[in-house]
Amino acid sequence: MSVQRRFLSRAWRRYWLSDPLEGLVAWSVYGFFALVPLDWSSAFWGWAMRVIGPRLPAHKIAERNLDLCFPDMPAAERARILRGMWDNLGRVVGEYPHNRALWRTPGRIAYVGTEDLTPRTYADRPVIFFSGHLANWEVAAPCAHAGGWPVWLVYRAPNNRFTDRLIRQIRRPFTVAQLPKGPEGARQTLRAMRQKGALTILVDQKTNDGIAVPFFGRPAMTTPAAAQFHLRMGAVLLPSRVVRTGGAWFEMRVEPPLTIEPTGDVAADQAALTERMNAILERWIREHPEQWLWIHRRWPESGRRVKKPKQ
């Protein structure tokens, strides 16, 4: 391959040009907004994404997902939810540089359902805090850390290696380890479970190697990992979510453990437990639809316009 053709190679350009440039922008923006007060940074990015978001291709995906889940929803309500979704996503971005302040500032996060929950509660069993991309989902792991839990965080690594380093640096103070999804991450996750660690995982993204279980009445490929750890290793499944109560103020809510009576059919039990997890996520989303990230291609139909029935 000639030098010219190599230069024009898409992979080469991405590795040596676009990735470093994008990383430089991300680190620079992070550094600047770290100097801006938390509430100002959150409000600015909320406003920015309300303006920019509807012009992005991802907005169409969010519209289609809402069509799938709420086909009879009035247009005005759909517009309100989408506007709120972009506002919430922008605020998450603006709150990233102030991650430590969020969980270290007294009163910034209110705790619900955690009164009797400490690492001693399940000292002899691994624990999985499962949630979804709701409100500022980045708050969940620091909250578990603040409660004394040794946190192992499962996450989907960004495509840009420089952005990945930034995010990992932000999360480092409150995690034992950060486990990217994939074969190596799976091995480390198993080790965390054997060490009776506390795992935080978001289970609302499509995964091609998952299982199809109902979500808003439609089959959705969902990771069965949490259900597998519960059935095989006795892991405690704690439904936990973050709720934005206004601006950069939150509630961290933890519900009673999710369990199932084994039937002996491992595959069926795994599917049933995963379906119950999706049902919990659906309930949360219905309560605050504007705080969920509707831009995931969660269902096969997300990538195309849904044909509505004739009136």
pLDDT digit string, tens, across residues 79-132: 999 999 999 999 999 999 998 888 888 899 999 998 778 888 888 899 999 999
Residue 305 above 50 pLDDT? Answer: no
Backbone angles phi, psi at 202, to 5 degrees: -100, 125
pLDDT digit string, tens, across residues 222-242: 999 999 999 999 999 999 999
Residue 1 above 60 pLDDT? Answer: no
Asked if residues 84 and 291 have their Cβ atoms less than 8 Å apart, the reply is yes
Residue 311 above 50 pLDDT? Answer: no
pLDDT-derived band at 284, boundaries 50, 70, 90? very high
Asked if residues 113 and 57 have their Cβ atoms less than 8 Å apart, the reply is no
Q: Per-domain residue ranges for the chain?
A: 3-97, 107-291
Which residues on neighbouring strands pair with residue 154, listed in sequence order?
Answer: 179
Residue-level pLDDT at 310: 39
Residue-level pLDDT at 5: 56
Percent of the chain whose predicted confidence (pLDDT) is above 70: 94
Strands (E), the chain: 109-112, 127-131, 151-155, 177-180, 198-202, 211-215, 218-222, 236-246, 249-254
Residue 18 above 70 pLDDT? Answer: yes
The distance from CA 21 to its chain's CA centroid, rounded to whole angstroms, is 26
Residue-level pLDDT at 308: 40
As a whole number of angstroms, the distance between CA 12 and CA 1 comes to 13
Lowest-confidence region among 9-18, 49-58, 106-115: 9-18
Q: Quickly count: other Cβ atoms within 10 Å of residue 14's Cβ.
A: 14
Residue 43 above 90 pLDDT? Answer: yes
Q: Mean pLDDT over all residues of the chain?
A: 89
Question: Encoding tokens for residue 195?
Answer: 């060490």
What pTM did the predictor assign? 0.90
Give the residue, 311 or 42, on which the prediction is more confident.
Answer: 42
